[in-house]
Structure 1
Amino acid sequence: MQLISYIASNTQISTNSILNTVQLLNEDCTIPFISRYRKERTGNLDEVQIGDIVKFKAQFEELEKRKATILKTLEEQEVLTNELKQKIEATTDLTVLEDIYLPYKKKRNTKAEIARKNGLEPLAKIIMSQRATDIDSIAEKYLNSEIESIDVALEGARFIIAEWINERTDVRNNIRYQLDRFASINTKVVKAKEDDEKAQKFRDYFDWSETLNRCPSHRLLAILRAEKEGFIRVKIQIDDEKAVAKIEDRIINSNNVCTQQIKLAIQDSYKRLLFPALSNEILNASKEKADENAILVFAKNLQQLLLGAPLGEKNILAIDPGFRTGCKVVCLNSQGGLEYNETIYPHAPKNDAIGAMKKINSLVDAYKIEAIAIGNGTASRETEQLIRKMRFNKDVQVFVVSEAGASIYSASKIARDEFPNFDVTVRGAVSIGRRLADPLAELVKIDAKSIGVGQYQHDVDQTKLKTSLDSVVESCVNSVGVNVNTASASLLSYVSGIGPKLAENIVKHRNEKGAFTSRDAIKKVPRLGDKAFEQGAGFLRIKNAKNPLDDSAVHPESYEVITKIAKDLKLNVSDLIGNKQVLQKVELQKYCSKTIGLPTLKDIIRELEKPGLDPRKTAKVFTFNQNIRTINDLHEGQLLPGIVNNITNFGCFVDIGIKESGLVHVSNLSDTFVSDVSSIVALHQQVIVKVIAVDISRKRIQLSMNY
C-alpha cells in the first residue's frame, strides 16, 4: 500500500488534499503555515486534519521501515519466498506484520529450541499429524544421551508443538478477540504496603475488578501507577478454559493417542506463551489508548491556558506571597520590564501589615501601577484580603494568578539569562506579573508538563506527550501572532519555521541593530533564509511599521494583490485597513490566480477588517468568598464562586480560594448526559458551585454545577 492510500484509509480526507499536504510537509512546511497560507493546495484543511496526516504519515514510515528490516533479515536467513515477500509488503498493520515474522524470528535458547537440537522435531510433526497409534514406540526411537526416557521425549516434542501453536496467526487473533471483548483487570493490595501512608490515595484499588475495555483512561493510569509504586498487583484475566477449548477446536481433528499430547501442548502454549504475551499486548494497547486520552485532555487544557485572557500592556505590581520569608514584591512596566523589587512582611511571624500597606501604596503611586497580581500559593488569601482592604488614589485592579510552574521557571536557564543579577524569588514574582499581562508569552518559557493542567503526565508516553504539547504551543503562538520587537527567544522559537537557534539570532540582531522596522528587515538576521522567512513572516508582527500590513496576519506574498485591490479602488493600502464597508464590496473573483484563490482572499479581507486582532478575551477581575479560608469553613449546600483550574475526563477541579480544589464530577456538571467535560467548562472559567460533600480527613471536596 502506498502512503497516500494508507492515510486516506485512516482518515476522511480526499486523496488530492493528502497528496498536496504531504508534498508541503516534505518541503519542510509547518502545520500552522500550511493551514493558514496554503488553503488552495490542501482543500482548506484545518490544523487538526493536517495533524492527522502528519500522524499517519509517521505511522506509515515506521511500518515501512520495519518491513525493510524484516525483509532483509529473512533474505539473510535464506527463507524469503515470493509469497512471503508479497504478504509482508501488503501488510498495513504492525501487529499483523510481527505475527507474520514471528515463526522466523531468531529465538533465544527456548525449551522448543533445545528440543529441536536434541532431534525431536520429527516426533513433534508425527504427533501433529494425529495419525500415530503407538506414540510411545515411536518416541522410544528418539532416545539418546540427552533424551533419557519416553516422557522426556514427548515433553520435548510438546514444547515444539507449543511454539508452533503460539506462532499461528489464527490462534493469536482468537485469543486477542477474547481479550479485547472479555478481559477483566483485577487488582490486589500488597499486604506489606497496605498501611503505607502513600498507598492510601490508591486504596480504592486495593481489591478492584472491572472489564478492561470499560476501564476509563484515568482509572487505568491510576491503577498502573499504583502497581508501579509497588502498592498493588495487577492481573488480566479471561475464561481460560474457554480460550483453551477454542484453540483445541482449531487444531484437534482426531481422537487417538496423539490427542492427549496435543492437548497438553495447547495448555502449555496458552499458559506459558500465548496468554502472557497477548495479555501484556492488550494491557499495553489499553495503556496506549489511556495515554492518548490523557494527552488529549492535557493538550486541550494547555491550549485553554495558553490562550487565557491577557490583561495587556499595563504597569503591574506582582506579589509572590509567603509567611515566614515574607512577600516578594516587584514592579513591572508595560513591556514587562523589572523596575523595582522588595520584600514585605505583612503576615506572621513579623505581622507588619501597616508597613506593608504603606509600601505598596507608595509603589502604586511611584510606578503608576494599573493592576496587582497575587500568586495563588501559600499566604495568597491573606495577601489578597490585605490588598483589598487598601484604598488607592486611582483605580487598581486586583487579580489572583496561578503560580503553577513559576518555581520551575525561576530556577531555569531562561530565567537566569533574563535576570542574572536577581535570585529565584524575584524571578518567580516577575513571572507571576507577566502571566497576568500575557499568559502565552510567559508560559512558553516553562516545560508544559510543569504547568499543572493535566493528570498522570509523568505516566504517559513522554515522547508522544512532548510532541502533542509542543504542537499545541506552536499552534497557540501562531494563532495569536508575535511582536518580533518585544518577544523573548522562547516565544519566537515557537513561531512557524523559526526554532530555538533562529530565535536567539533574531533577539541578538534586535539587541545589536535595534528594532525591526519592516518584515523585510527580518531577512537580515543571520542564517534566516528564504524558507524560514516564508514560513514565519505571516506570524511575526511589526508594530507601527511603515507598511501597515506588517502588523497583520497577511503574508508578504499577498501584499501585491492587496496593492492591486487598493489601486483598483483608487485608495491607498492604509485606507483599506479597518474599512469594512469598502472591503465587503470587493469582487474577490477578479483577484483569483493560480496561487491565490477564494479561501486566501476571504482570509485577507477578514484580516484587513481587524488587522492583528488578538483572538483572546481580556482578563476579568474575580473575587473568592472572603469568609471561606480553609476546608473547615465549608458545609453542604453552600454556593461559592470558583475558577476551573483543571479539567479531566471524569470532571473538573475548581479553585474556591482554599488550599484544596473541589471536584465537580462529570455527573454533577449538568442535568443532561455529558460525554466531553470540555464542552461544558473551560480552564480558568469563572463558575458558581454548590458544596455537596466535604471529607476533611481525606481533604476531598465534592462540588456540583447542577443545582
Structure 2
Amino acid sequence: MSENETLDPLIAQAAQSLKLSVRQVAGAMRLLDDGNTIPFITRYRKEATGGLDEEQLRSVQRTMQELRDVVAERAKILKAIDGQGKLTPELRAAIESADSMKRLEELYAPYRSKRKTRADEAREMGLEPLAKMVWAGRCGDGDLSRVATACLGKHPALTSVEVVLQGVQDLLAARIAEEIELRDLARKTALKMALISTRLNAKSEDAATFQDYAEFEQAIGKLPPHRVLAINRGEDREALKVSLKWDQPLAQARLAGALNLSRHPAKQFMEQSIADALKRLIGPAIEREIRRDLTQHAHVHALENFGRNVRQLLLQPPLLGQTILAVDPGFRTGCKLAVLSPEGTVLAHDVVHVTDPKAAAQAEVRLVQLIQTHHVNVLAIGNGTASREAQEVVTKTISEHGLNCRYVVVNEAGASIYSASDVGRSEFPDFDATVRGTISIGRRLQDPLSELVKIEPQHIGVGMYQHDLPEKDLAASLGDVVESCVNHVGVELNNASAELLKYVSGLNKTTARAIVAYREDHGPFHNRQELLDVPGVGQKSFIQAAGFLRIRNGREPLDATWVHPESYPLARKLLQRAGVKPAELAQHAIKDSSLTATADVNQLSTELGSDRYTLEQVLSALLKPGRDPREDLSPPLMRASVLSLDELQVGTELSGVVTNVVDFGAFVDVGLKQDGLVHISKMADRFISSPHDVVSVGQTIRVWVDTVDTARGRVGLTMLKPK
C-alpha cells in the first residue's frame, strides 16, 4: 500500500465509517479503480482486501463514491456562493465541515439560483439599511412607523408605511431563513414531532384502493417504508391529500430564544418576521426535505427488499434431467402448451381450451397424448390468468388416466415481455410470441437463472412498488443483483446464452455476443485459454472472466472447476501433494482428508509460495469441483391436486411456496387461486425485525390456516403451529 493511500483522508474516513482497516479499504479501492469487478475481487483477490466479502466491497465502493461526490459538490458550492459575494467565514467553515450531500444541500439551499423573491424586491426598493437597523436593535417597535414614513417616495413602489414595513419584514424573514443555526433549530423541532397526515379524496377513481389512508396520521419516525410509498402513490394519483404537521409555534419560540429577543427593542416586529420566515420560507423547505428524505429512505429499502427477492428467485435450483410440459394458461386464447426436452429443446407445441366443458374433454385427450408420447412427468403451469382452471384440468387428467405426473406453479411475470423481445425472437424465430412465452415458463423451471436473465429484473414480479422507484437506481441495483447471482453460480461456457454471458465478470453485451458467434463458427471451446481468440476479449477481460466460465469434458480438467487459470500451478502442486491426478476431478474422487490433513493453511501457503486466501479458495474448488451452490436450496414444490376455499378450516396444515416477501409478511402459494398471506406477527414466536429473517422467495414452508375470508377469496396463514 502506497503512502498516498495511507494518508488519503477519504479512505481513512470510509474505513472508520465501515469499521474496516485502512489497508482493506485502500486495497479494495485500488482494485476497483483499476476496473476490477466486485465478483472477481471477492473470489480471487481476497489477499488484497483482507478477505472482504461481496457485501462489504459494495459498501466500500458506495461509501467512497459518496465521499468523493461530497468533495466535488463542496468545491462547486463554495465557488457558487463566493461568486455571489455571500461566502462568510462561518458559512465556509460549515460547508467545509459538511460530510454528506444532504448537509451540503441544506447549506446551499438559501443561495441557489431562483426566481426573484420578495426580499430581492425590497432590496431594490432600498430597504436593506432599515432592515439591518432593526436586526441590530437600533430601531425599536415604537420607532418603526416614523422611520418608515421617512422612506416614502424614495422609490416609486414605496407608497405607504405598510408597504415599507412589509418590505423590511420580507428582508428580515429571508435573513432568518438563511441563518444556518436557525434553520437547523427549526429542522430539529420538526423532525422530533412531525406527523404525516392523509385525507381521502372521495372523488378520485382510485379512492377505494387507498381506503386504509382515509383518515390516517402517524409520526414520521414510526412510518414504515411501504406506507411512505403507498402514500406517495395515493398522492400522485390524486386519491390522497397529504400534509405534514409539526409544532411551528414551538419552533418560533425556540428561534426567538436563539436570537435573544426578550430584550430586543423591536421584539414584536422580529417575532412577526420569524413567524413569516417559518410559514413562508423555512417551513415549506423543511417539509419538502422531510418528505424527500422519507421517500429516499423508502426507495433504498424497497430496492434492498426487491433485490433480495430477485436474488432468491434467480438462485432457485434447476430441475435437471426432466422433460417438461409447459402450460401458459388463458381463457379466450386458450392454454398454450410446449414440451421441452431436458436440454430445453422444443419437442412439440399446441393450444387447448379448458374453460368450455366440451373443449376441456378434448384438452384432456391432448394432454394425455403429449405426456405419454414424450414421457413427461413434470408440468410447469404459469400462475397468471386461468391458472386455477388449468390446474383443475391437469389434476383431473392425471388422476383419471393414472399418469405418473406432478405439476409446479411457475411465476410467469415478464414472460410476455420476453416473448416479444429481440432476445426471444432471435432464439425462436420460427415460433410466434405465444409459443415463446410458454417456452419461457417451462425453461424457468429447468434453469431459473439462465432463463430469467433474459428479462429486465423489474419485470420479474417479486417486489412491491418497484414501478414507483427511480428507473436508473432500480436498473443499477438489480443489475448488481443479477451480476452477483450469475457469478455466484458460474456459467457453462459452451452452452450459455449471450444474455447470461453478458453478466459474467469482465464481459459485456458485445463480448458475450462475440463468444456465442465464435462458438457457432468454431465449435465448442476446448479450454479457457481459447477465450483470448475471441475478438474483443483481451487479457484484462480474460483475467476477470475466466474463473467464472466452466468447460466440462475439455482438455484441461481444471477448467471445470472454480480454480482460476492463474492458480493452476498451485492447484497442481496441491493435487500432486494429495496424490490425485487432475483427470480424477471429473469423478469427484478427491476426499477432504487427502488435501487438508497435510498441513495447516498458513504453513502450507508459505511452503507453496502462495497466500492463505488464495490457497483456501483453491482448496475449496478442488474439494467440490462441480458444485452448484443452488443445490443447497429447496427443490420446487410438486403438486398433484388443487385446493378450494371450501376445503379449508382454521388450523388446516398446508405446504406452500413463498412467492413474495414484503415488509409486513410473506405471500405463500398453497394451491389456491390467490396466494395466502403470513403476517410478520405470525412468522415466529419471537420478535423479528424483517420477514427476510425467517423466509425467502422460493422456499417451501409448512403453514396453518389462520383466517378464511370467503367473500374476498383471501386466506390468512400462520407459521406458528396451533396448540
Common fold by TM > 0.5: yes
Give the aligned partner of residue 664 of structure 1: 678
2:65 corresponds to which of 52, 58, 61: 58
Partner of 1:345: 353
Deviations 1:432-470 (A, max 9, x none): 111111011111111111111101111223322222211
DSSP 3-state at the match of 2:261: coil
2:167 to 134, 142, 156: 156
2:131 aligned residue: 124
Aligned 8 A contact 2:642 2:671 in 1: no
Shift of 1:64: 2.1
Q: Does 2:693 correspond to 1:679?
A: yes
CA–CA separation in structure 2 for the residues paired with 1:597 and 1:288: 42
Distance 1:82 1:575 in 2: 73
What corresponds to 2:330 in structure 1?
322
Match of 1:558 in 2: 567
What residue number does 2:666 align with? 652
1:173 aligns with 2:184: yes
Q: CA deviation at 1:357?
A: 3.8
Is 1:464 matched up with 2:463? Answer: no
In structure 2, the residue matched to 1:628 is 643
1:516-553 residue CA offsets vs partner (Å, 9 max, x unmatched): 11101111111111111111111111111111110111
Match of residue 336 from structure 1: 344
Q: 1:82 to 1:160 in 2, by over 3 A?
A: closer
Instruction: Work out whether residues 398 and 405 of structure 2, in 8 Å CA contact, stay in contact via their aligned partners in 1.
Output: no
Is 129-138 or 521-530 further displaced after alignment? 129-138
Deviation at 1:392, TM superposition (A): 6.8
TM-score of the pair, normalised by structure 2: 0.92
Deviation at 1:593, TM superposition (A): 8.5
- In the alignment, is the contact (CA less than 8 A) between 2:338 and 2:439 conserved in 1? yes
Matched, 1:607 2:621: yes
For 1:696 and 1:27, the matched residues in 2 are separated by 60
Which of 114, 117, 120 aligns to 2:121? It is: 114
Residues in 2 aligned to 1:103 and 1:211: alpha-carbon distance in whole angstroms? 28
Structure 2 gaps of 5+ residues are: 1-7
Q: 1:524 to 1:552 in 2, by over 3 A?
A: same
Question: Match for residue 231 of structure 1?
Answer: 239
Check whether the contact 1:361–1:392 (CA below 8 A) recurs between aligned residues: no
Q: Could you say which residue in structure 2 is the equivalent of 1:283?
A: 291
Indicate conservation of the 8 Å contact 1:644/1:654, yes or no. yes
State the Cα distance separating 1:315 from its structure 2 match.
2.5
Q: Equivalents in 2 of 1:225, 1:70: separation in Å?
A: 33
Partner of 2:553: 544
Tell me whether 1:381 sits opposite 2:391 in the alignment: yes
* Equivalent position to 1:221, from 217, 225, 229: 229
Q: Secondary structure at 1:317's aligned position in 2?
A: strand
Distance 2:85 2:118 in 1: 24
Residues 157-180 of structure 1 deviation map (CA, whole Å, 9 limit, x = unaligned): 110110111111111212221222
Q: Which moved more, 1:410-419 or 1:136-145?
A: 136-145
| Among 237, 252, 262, the residue aligned to 2:270 | 262
Specify which of 581, 584, 603 is matched with residue 596 of structure 2: 584
Taking the aligned partners of 2:54 and 2:457, their CA distance within structure 1 comes to 20
In structure 2, distance between residues paired with 1:343 and 1:300: 36
Query: Helix, strand or coil for the counterpart of 2:394?
Result: helix
Residue aligning to 2:26: 19
> How far does the alpha carbon of each residue in 1:393-433 deviate from its partner, in whole angstroms, 9 at most, with x for none?
8x554322221221221122211111122112101110111
Structure 1 window deviating more from structure 2 (329-338 vs 204-213): it is: 329-338
Give the distance between the partners of 1:173 and 1:612, measured in 2 at CA.
59
C-alpha offsets along residues 98-143 of structure 1, whole Å, 9 cap, x if unaligned?
Answer: 3433454334210001000111111111111123242222222322
Instruction: Give, in angstroms, the shift of residue 257 of structure 1.
Output: 5.0
Query: Are 1:303 and 2:318 counterparts?
Result: no
Q: Is the 8 A contact 1:130 1:254 kept in 2?
A: no
Change (3 A) 1:256 1:555: closer
Contact kept? 1:185, 1:237, Cα under 8 Å? yes
1:504 paired with 2:513, answer yes
Deviation at 1:256, TM superposition (A): 5.6
1:569 Cα shift? 5.0
SS in 1 for 2:504: coil
* Bigger mean CA deviation after superposition, 499-508 or 16-25: 499-508
Aligned equivalents of 1:427, 1:453: Cα separation in 2: 22
Aligned partners of 2:88, 2:366: CA distance in 1, in Å?
85
| Inter-CA distance 676–176: structure 2 relative to 1 (3 Å threshold) | same
Q: Which residue in the other structure is 2:5 paired with? A: none
- Aligned partner of 2:528: which letter? R
RMSD between superposed Cα atoms in Å = 2.4
Distance 1:620 1:462 in 2: 33
Which amino acid in structure 2 is aligned with residue 598 of structure 1? R
User: Offset at 1:66?
Assistant: 1.4
Higher mean Cα deviation, 468-477 or 668-677? Answer: 668-677
Mark the runs of 5 or more structure 1 residues left unpaired by the alignment: none
Runs of 4+ aligned residues of structure 1 deviating over 6 Å after TM superposition are none
Q: What is the DSSP-based 3-state SS (H/G/I as helix, E as strand, rest coil) of the residue aligned with 2:668? A: strand
Matching residue's letter, 2:698: H
3-state SS, counterpart of residue 185 of structure 1 = strand
The counterpart of 1:88, out of the listed 95, 110, 113, is 95
Deviation at 1:626, TM superposition (A): 3.9
* Contact kept in structure 1, 2:406 and 2:639, CA below 8 Å: no
The one-letter code sitting in structure 2 at the alignment partner of 1:423 is D
Matches within 5 A, 1:182-201: 182-193=193-204, 196=205, 198-201=206-209
